[in-house]
Amino acid sequence: MGCRHGEARKISHQLGKLRARVVLVTLLFEDGTSHSKLFTVAAMTRLHVDVFAEFATAPGRPFGALVEALGDDPIELVVERATYWDANGVTWAAGTNALGTRLP
């Protein structure tokens, strides 16, 4: 994933458990560096991570994202990558999304 003028990158996590959980989001950059941050997902909610706002090292750089559920009690996450574009003065006038792929 890269960035172009007018794009906004979001990573969404959906949690179907009855109590809050912690996830670790790690951005993996082409040059081999990475940047990680912890987020709390409230019970029965979605968390939207605005990558450019949360990771100062991300704008203008291609990256992959690894999302890991932390803790002893396994949780079920649905992770998607969403990209939105602004056009003709309309915020998020167009966009696309893709589900994450579970690693073995």
Q: How far apart are CA 67 and CA 90, in angstroms?
A: 30
**pLDDT recorded at residue 33:** 96
The C-alpha torsion from 22 through 69 and 49 to 85, rounded to 10°, is -170
DSSP state of 53: H
Q: In terms of C-beta density within 10 A (0-12 exposed, 13-18 middle, 19 or more buried), how is residue 9 classed?
A: buried
The residue extents of the domains of the chain are 7-89
**pLDDT recorded at residue 32:** 96
**pLDDT recorded at residue 6:** 44
**pLDDT recorded at residue 10:** 56
pTM for this model (two decimals)? 0.74
**pLDDT recorded at residue 22:** 86
Q: Which CATH superfamily is domain 7-89 in?
A: TM1070-like (2.60.290.11)
Per-residue pLDDT of the chain (104 residues; tens, 9 = 90+): 344 444 445 555 555 556 778 889 999 999 999 999 999 888 778 888 888 899 999 999 998 899 888 877 757 778 888 888 888 999 888 988 888 888 87
**pLDDT recorded at residue 90:** 92
**Do the Cβ atoms of 94 and 85 come closer than 8 Å?**
yes
Q: What residue type is 93 in one-letter code?
A: A
Judging by DSSP bridges, how do beta strands 21-29 and 63-69 pair with one another?
antiparallel
**pLDDT recorded at residue 14:** 55
